[in-house]
Amino acid sequence: MRHLLVAGILTALLVLPVINAKGGEPMTFTIKSADFKDNGPISKKFTCDGEDLSPELSWTDPPQGAKSYALIVEDPDAPTGTFLHWVVYDIPADFKGLKRGMLSDDYADKGVKQGKTGFGPAGWGGPCPPKGHGRHRYIFILKALDVPSLGLANGAVRLDVEKAAKGRVLGEARITGVYQR
């Protein structure tokens, strides 16, 4: 009888939807790209081997209470450790995506800021793994925040963005693209 009770509890936990940490509602927050599928290849035009354009991104069903977004794009497969390709923060809550080919000062009039990357300056820095190093993953992490601004200047570093966002994240959505040279 005891085994049946434990099995019933475990089954219930497995079939329950993932719950938002602050809101208690099911999480359906998703990010996608018109330029690549999740876990699919990123086209050369979005890389250092092409035009180095940022891909188009869109998101749906943000958590209730989201007042802004922050986006971080990283390559965890870089030979020297995780490499940072893009940091965008203070994205207004009414935004539903970012356009293809976004420049470092695009949407600045709306309060959007971009942080420094592993390449140095703020703005998109496309996939550029070492030749022959194999397949790299590029993880796009979008955080829905409960504040309209992180209170950081343009050009902040990832650590400062994450520190300012700590305790403010209502939900997170991810998409991964892959590229190799």
Domain assignment of residue 43, given as a range: 19-179
Domain count, the chain: 1
pLDDT digits (tens, 9 = 90+) for 53-99: 999 999 999 999 999 999 999 999 999 999 999 999 999 999 999 99
Does residue 156 lie within any of the structural domains?
yes
Contact call for residues 124 and 87 (beta carbons, < 8 A): no
Tell whether 11 is covered by a domain: no
Q: Within a domain: residue 130?
A: yes
Asked if the structure places residue 81 within a domain, the reply is yes
Residue 23 lies in a domain: yes
User: Domain with 156 in it: what CATH number?
Assistant: 3.90.280.10
Residue 8 lies in a domain: no
Residue 178 confidence class, pLDDT cut points 50, 70, 90: very high
Q: Is residue 3 part of a domain?
A: no
Beta carbons within 8 Å of 6's beta carbon, 6+ residues apart: none
User: Does residue 13 sit within a domain?
Assistant: no
User: pTM for this one?
Assistant: 0.85
Backbone angles phi, psi at 101, to 5 degrees: 75, 30
